[in-house]
Amino acid sequence: MKVLVAVKRVIDANVKVRVKADGTGVETTNVKMSMNPFDEIGIEEAIRLKEAGKATEVIALSAGVQQCQETLRTALAMGADRGILIQTDAELQPLAVAKLFKAVVEKEQPQLVILGKQAIDDDCNQTGQMLSTLLGWAQGTFASKLEPNGDSLTVTREVDGGLETVALKMPAVITTDLRLNEPRYASLPNIMKAKKKPIETLTPDELGVDVSPRLKTLKVVEPPPRKSGVRVSSVAELVDKLRNEAKVI
């Protein structure tokens, strides 16, 4: 079983995001970038499937600027076998990414495609669902457990109020939830080895995909600042404020 895993380059989860002064987006110059955390979980799951003898090859796939190579190298250092970069400076929205990934799926013929449930920069939660629809494949979203058995796949999904278990016919698209696994850190020897692993570069034109945006961002604003708190001197004062000022009791 060949497994294709999407890895997106996003602003590191620990960076405080700043909105550009002109409100057209967020500042990305001189900002630390990393692999989308849900995609680290995707790579980890694919490597575990390979270690368990259930996957034969793990391919990491990224779309975006040339620096996405670094994200692919991280995936290779974690244990992926090879990488594919669809290189473009164009702004990529989920539908365009899904169309690009469909073209790669048709070329590579994987049995399983793993994506994150959402990218932490755009919070769209769309690409996996769009890809499975374009391919006409089964989808298991928000997966917290995966068990491949032959040509089917049992997926436990995190839903409101509990866990849902579904059986999917392969080939299938999976999106990862936080509790699927805890991703490993790449060891130094594996970081060195990853430098020799191949990364193929493609372009949207080569794949015959028009990536023109369908949505226009009108403006981006910072969330309103939180009001500072007040210190109360007694429980009675706290109750009085909650009752008469906040009106919550």
Q: Which residues bind ligand AMP (CB under 6 A)?
A: 6-8, 36, 38-39, 62-64, 92, 94, 97, 115-116, 118-119, 122, 124-128
Half-sphere CA count of 32, side-chain side, radius 13 A: 6
Q: Which is nearer to ligand AMP, 134 or 241 (CB)?
A: 134
Q: Work out how close the CB of 120 gets to ligand AMP at its nearest, in angstroms, rounded to a whole number.
A: 8
Q: Work out how close the CB of 123 gets to ligand AMP at its nearest, in angstroms, rounded to a whole number.
A: 6
Q: Which is nearer to ligand AMP, 216 or 247 (CB)?
A: 216
Q: Work out how close the CB of 185 gets to ligand AMP at its nearest, in angstroms, rounded to a whole number.
A: 20
Q: Which is nearer to ligand AMP, 38 or 142 (CB)?
A: 38
Q: Which is nearer to ligand AMP, 84 or 168 (CB)?
A: 84
Q: Which is nearer to ligand AMP, 96 or 168 (CB)?
A: 96
Q: Which is nearer to ligand AMP, 46 or 92 (CB)?
A: 92
Q: Work out how close the CB of 242 gets to ligand AMP at its nearest, in angstroms, rounded to a whole number.
A: 38
Nearest to 41 by CA among 111, 96, 118: 118
Nearest to 82 by CA among 100, 58, 105: 58
Tell me whether residue 106 is exposed, middle or buried, using C-beta atoms within 10 angstroms of its C-beta: 0 to 12, 13 to 18, 19 or more. exposed
CA separation for the pair 38, 178 (Å, rounded): 7
Q: How far is C-alpha 215 from the chain's CA centre?
A: 20
Q: Calculate the alpha carbon distances from 244 to 53, 112, 189, 239, 241 in Å.
A: 64, 57, 63, 8, 5
| Nearest residue relative to ligand AMP (C-beta) | 116
* Whether 127 contacts 98, CB under 8 Å: yes
Q: Work out how close the CB of 15 gets to ligand AMP at its nearest, in angstroms, rounded to a whole number.
A: 17
Q: Work out how close the CB of 209 gets to ligand AMP at its nearest, in angstroms, rounded to a whole number.
A: 13
Element (H, E) at 57: strand 57-64
Match 């967020």 to its residue by tokens: 26
